[in-house]
Structure 1
C-alpha cells in the first residue's frame, strides 16, 4: 500500500530522528526517479534556470517557468514532499505579493511548500504565508538570488560577526514559522552551530555533515551538468558521458544504414502485400 505523502510537519518532526534526503527535480521523470531512490523532499529549485534552461544564474527564472516545472514534478511524485523555489522578486517586494505568488504555486502547481531566500528582512512575508496556510522553507548562506550583491558564488559566514548574524537570521526564520532551513556554502562549524540551536531541521549543501539532511542538484549528482562544479558536489554517476556515447552511436548507425534493422521494423502480411502490388499494377 502506498504511504501517504510526507508533510511539512513530518519534516519538522524528523529533527533528531532521521537524516533527510533532498534531491532537486524539474520534471515528472526526474521526480519519479528521485522518489523511487528514497528522497524525502523533491525541491523544484530555481537552479532549473542553469541546469535546464541554459541561463547564467537563477535570477532570470520566472513564475511561469516555476509553475510549469513544479506542476510536472508534483504529477510525477506521490510520496515525497514537493517544495518549489519562489523565483527572484516574486516575494521580496511586498507581503501581499509573496502570499499571492506562493498561493499560485500551491493552487496551480499543487506543491506542498515553497522556499524563500533571505533572513530577518523577509520574516514578515514568511509569517504571512504561514498564516495563509502555506508551509515555508528558508534558505541562508550562499543565496543564489543574491549573487550580485554577494559578489559571486562564495562561501558565506567565514567571520565570527557574519556567523552570529546568520544564526540570528536562522532563529528569526524559525520563529516566523519556517518548517526547515537550507544552509548553503557555510563553514562546517557554523552549520553545526546553527543545526544545534535551531528547533527545525537544517538541510545542507556545501555546509558539512552536521546538518539534519543534505540536498544536491539532480544534474550535478548524476553527472549531467557540464558547467561549473562546486567543491561540495559529489558526482555519483557520469550519465552525461554515457548519454553522449549512446547518442553518437545512434548517429553513426543512422548514417551507415545499420539502424533500423529488421528487428526494429514492421512487416505487412504477405497476402496483403500481394494485393497491394497487384492493385498498383492494374492502376
Structure 2
C-alpha cells in the first residue's frame, strides 16, 4: 500500500487545532514538481499570486488572473496529496461578496484546493462570511496586502502605531467571527503581531511578522535562493538555489561542447 494510501491529507480543522500546540509551516508552490517535494513536509502549500512575480517575472501581483490561479492550483494539487492546498484569490476576483463567491466556487469546482486566501480589509468581512456560509474554507490575509500596493503607495510595514495595532486586532477578531479558519499576517511589527495572535483563537501565519505568531510562510524561491533580484529582510535563505543550478547548467554545457556527454553508457 502506498504512503498516500496511509497518510490522510491535512484538514483545516487540524490546522485550527495546532494553535498553541505546535507551529504551523507553509511554503508557496506553483507546479506539481515543487508541490511533490514539499508535500507532507509542510502543513500547508499556498498557490500564491506571488507567482505573477516569481514565476512570470512581473513587478507586482496585480495582473494575475483567476484562470492562471486555477491552472497553477490544479498543478499543485496534482503533486500534493498530504499538505493542505490553498488557492490565492487574485486582484479583482473578490471585489464584492457575490463576485468572491462566484470566483471561489470556480476554484472549488475546478481544483482540489481545500481553501482559498483573500486579502481582507473591513470591506472584505462580508466576502469571508459569504464564502464560509457556502462551505468554502477561508484564510484571510491582513497587514501588508500586496494587492493594495498601488493604493497604499508601496510596501509599508504595519503595526507601528497603537491605533494601527488596535485596528488590526479588531479586524482579526471580526475575521474570526466571520468563520475564517486562519489569518495570514504580512509585514507587521513583531510586538504587534504577537498581540494580534493572542487576541484570536484561530492560527495566525506570519510572513515578516516576527516569531510570536502561530506559524510561518515563505515564498519558495526566496527561501531557497532562486530569486536573486533582492532578498527581503524577513527571508532566511536555506539554499543558494540559483547559484547551484547555474553551476550545474554550466557543467552540462561544458560536457556537451567537449563531447563528454553523452558517453557510451548514456547512449543506445
TM-score normalised by structure 2 residue count: 0.96
Counterparts of 2:106 and 2:22 in 1: how far apart (Å)?
31
Partner of 2:34: 30
Counterparts of 2:196 and 2:205 in 1: how far apart (Å)?
11
Structure 1 segment 94-173 matched on structure 2, within 5 A: 94-173=96-175
User: Which of 28, 51, 59 is residue 48 of structure 1 equivalent to?
Assistant: 51
Counterparts of 1:29 and 1:19 in 2: how far apart (Å)?
25
Deviates more, 1:51-60 or 1:256-265: 256-265
Counterparts of 2:190 and 2:50 in 1: how far apart (Å)?
23
What is the DSSP-based 3-state SS (H/G/I as helix, E as strand, rest coil) of the residue aligned with 1:148?
coil
Partner of 1:13: 17
Deviates more, 1:222-231 or 1:121-130: 222-231
Counterparts of 1:252 and 1:120 in 2: how far apart (Å)?
57
User: Is the contact made by 1:12 and 1:180 (CA closer than 8 Å) also made in structure 2?
Assistant: yes
1:196-231 CA-to-partner distances (Å, cap 9, x unmatched) read 011100001110001100111111111111123210
TM-score normalised by structure 1 residue count: 0.91
Deviates more, 1:75-84 or 1:6-15: 6-15
- The RMSD of aligned alpha carbons is 1.0
Counterparts of 1:149 and 1:167 in 2: how far apart (Å)?
22
What is the DSSP-based 3-state SS (H/G/I as helix, E as strand, rest coil) of the residue aligned with 2:60?
coil
Counterparts of 2:231 and 2:152 in 1: how far apart (Å)?
19
User: Is the contact made by 2:39 and 2:79 (CA closer than 8 Å) also made in structure 1?
Assistant: no
- In structure 1, runs of 5+ residues without a counterpart are 267-283
Partner of 1:84: 87
1:221-254 CA-to-partner distances (Å, cap 9, x unmatched) read 1111112321000000111101001111111222
Partner of 1:269: none
What is the DSSP-based 3-state SS (H/G/I as helix, E as strand, rest coil) of the residue aligned with 1:116?
strand
Aligned length: 264
The runs of 4+ residues in structure 1 deviating greater than 6 Å are none
Counterparts of 1:139 and 1:40 in 2: how far apart (Å)?
18
1:7-34 CA-to-partner distances (Å, cap 9, x unmatched) read 1122112111111011111111111111
| 2:65 is aligned with 1:62 | yes
Counterparts of 1:180 and 1:119 in 2: how far apart (Å)?
15
Partner of 2:229: 227
User: Is the contact made by 2:86 and 2:116 (CA closer than 8 Å) also made in structure 1?
Assistant: yes
- In structure 2, runs of 5+ residues without a counterpart are none
What is the DSSP-based 3-state SS (H/G/I as helix, E as strand, rest coil) of the residue aligned with 1:231?
coil
What is the DSSP-based 3-state SS (H/G/I as helix, E as strand, rest coil) of the residue aligned with 1:149?
coil
Deviates more, 1:149-158 or 1:71-80: 149-158
What is the DSSP-based 3-state SS (H/G/I as helix, E as strand, rest coil) of the residue aligned with 1:183?
strand
Deviates more, 1:4-13 or 1:179-188: 4-13
Per the TM alignment, residue 118 of structure 1 is displaced from its structure 2 partner at its CA by: 1.6
Counterparts of 1:118 and 1:96 in 2: how far apart (Å)?
15
Per the TM alignment, residue 257 of structure 1 is displaced from its structure 2 partner at its CA by: 2.0
Partner of 1:273: none
